[in-house]
A and B are shown apart, each in its own frame.
Chain A
């Protein structure tokens, strides 16, 4: 047992938003993953693995327009049915408290990486009004860090309604806000990494604006 003092008795207990049953259901990414995008190799057909990269990342790397734009993505959880349900409730139903529930995991992950700025993937003004909050910015804020809004959306159409081809070949969807990011190390924060398209596009804008490096931390690897 740890030592009991007056502070243990009188200080506010650490906020705990998840019960043990739900903590046990969290699908932490473990074992071998793609060194660039965190995709777990264990649930992947081996033909999609080339050395320590997945074939998707290989394709991004081989494309002259994209190579060198994006360092890497770190995801915390796999996007299984439990996470699908949880993230849907968080962002589509707008149950903000999940940002607090996830905050310890985000904080933990951010301890392992170096950065100057944490940048959320922005929402269009309409979507922001609909949801009432930006789910990426909330993850940064609730983890106790400063939110740096460096990007905005040019136009909006729901990502989830587009095909992979559309997502990757679409023209730029972000534009820079007040950029003063010369030689800064930037980490983008988003809820899910699916094809990587959103993050690559955001990274490109920041790189072209002078950032030293851009990587990302995401809740789930889709």
Chain B
């Protein structure tokens, strides 16, 4: 598509003075004509979104009329200066993730496009992003949509009050809650308040399985509210819901949409590793909005900001069942990689495993690398044929986790893929090669957090087998001890 200088769009038969949208210096923003009979369906589709023409069913002249009357905005999909190229949808600036081609849509020999977000439809120099800039669609308000009979622990209550306040005052807040504290319930009052004010709320998380778990839980406690559940491949397209639960990837479709964004597992992959997801979260917020971060394991940087008073935060230092967090113990196991080469496990490790399996206690063993894990699997299977191993690419991942839940297998070997999210009621956990770089402080705290989660089995063993203690191991242990001390001081644990 090309535009004439007065912004008339052409799909073909381009007039000579027409340009790609990226070559237009400033795109005019016509003032809102309040008497214009705008199309409400278009408002529903476009409000809070950034959408490509091919995703709109309306004819171009209708869209353009809305632009001329100040209801729709056009933005450049790609902005290009002499020094850098940026994708406006995903924020990509990486030179190697742009390419160009002779484009049949605009007729240019070199039309640059973004390869980073191409799976959501190609954004190139001739691609406008369409958004709604007219009035917000009105939706029904409910005074108290929350229907929940549960009660909060004292620790949860403190956090819940602060979340509510941040939502009302459009502030930022970090909720630093230990693994198994019951984070989700802490959000209910805040979401309730937001919805009562007619605000749009989004709970975003990097992980699809978390979206799938939260969806039904929130639908159950907000029965009168439409909840949109969005993840790669989801069917939910009625996206103007007051409450949206989405993967951070899905937020790339949103633009200035939410009054409250709650970001769960801020420290989880791929959110931390992928700048475009952080960009997506920023873009999805309204200019005035609240932002709640949830995590059990904030980064070192954030921890420092908390302690120096630069970041507004609240902790939930204890689990809802009022037992302390199991503290990891360190066990040196020598050059375990060398032992594996000789088809042997370090004796400390094999004893740990034997003790558990003899007593029929299920256990999880974490590894830094897949090939090492496979090696250990062959060694262990000689004695314990039912043991299984999982990693991210494993097509049977879900089945194996289910087998573990059903207690069909005594032990599961895993990479960091199971470091968070999964709950097995009564297990011991160990890490082999805890010195590896992949085991960051937060990974180790999360792994330790797998132990003792249920109220019936609130304790368990967590051991880090290592060939040289690392700073991350020490910090992880310290963090856990500190949370237990804080919880005891606040009277949040009984045992």
**What residues of chain A have their CB less than 8 Å away from a CB belonging to chain B?**
89, 93-97, 99-100, 128-134, 138, 141
In the complex, which residues of chain B have a beta carbon less than 8 angstroms from the beta carbon of A131? 104
Q: Could you list 29 A-B pairs, sorted by A, with CB under 8 Å?
A: A89-B118, A93-B119, A93-B122, A94-B113, A94-B118, A95-B99, A95-B115, A95-B118, A95-B122, A96-B99, A96-B101, A97-B99, A97-B101, A97-B115, A99-B101, A128-B104, A129-B11, A129-B104, A129-B105, A130-B54, A131-B104, A132-B101, A132-B105, A132-B111, A132-B122, A133-B101, A133-B102, A133-B103, A138-B101
Interface size on B, residues (CB 8 A): 17
Q: Are B122 and A94 in contact (CB under 8 A)?
A: yes
Q: Beyond the given A93-B118, A95-B115, A132-B124, could you list 16 further A-B residue pairs with CB under 8 A, ordered by the A residue number? A: A94-B113, A94-B118, A95-B122, A96-B99, A96-B113, A128-B104, A129-B12, A130-B54, A131-B104, A132-B101, A132-B105, A132-B111, A133-B103, A133-B104, A138-B101, A141-B102
Q: In the complex, what's the smallest C-beta–C-beta distance from B10 to chain A, in angstroms?
A: 12
In the complex, which residues of chain B have a beta carbon less than 8 angstroms from the beta carbon of A141? 102
**What residues of chain B have their CB less than 8 Å away from a CB belonging to chain A?**
11-12, 54, 99-105, 111, 113, 115, 118-119, 122, 124
CB closest chain-A residue, reference B120? A93
Task: Report the number of A-B residue pairs with Cβ-Cβ less than 8 Å.
Answer: 42
Lowest 8 A-B CB distances belong to which pairs? A96-B101, A97-B99, A94-B122, A128-B104, A132-B105, A93-B118, A132-B103, A132-B104
In the complex, which residues of chain A have a beta carbon less than 8 angstroms from the beta carbon of B115? 95, 97
CA distance A144 to B421 in the complex (A): 52
Q: In the complex, what's the smallest C-beta–C-beta distance from A12 to chain B, in angstroms?
A: 15
CA distance A134 to B111 in the complex (A): 15
Q: In the complex, what's the smallest C-beta–C-beta distance from B413 to chain A, in angstroms?
A: 25
CB closest chain-A residue, reference B100? A96
CB closest chain-B residue, reference A134? B104
CA distance A129 to B124 in the complex (A): 13
CA distance A65 to B353 in the complex (A): 73
CB closest chain-B residue, reference A17? B99
CA distance A138 to B122 in the complex (A): 17
CA distance A133 to B102 in the complex (A): 7
Q: In the complex, what's the smallest C-beta–C-beta distance from B124 to chain A, in angstroms?
A: 7
CA distance A132 to B102 in the complex (A): 8
CB closest chain-B residue, reference A95? B118
In the complex, which residues of chain A have a beta carbon less than 8 angstroms from the beta carbon of B113? 94, 96
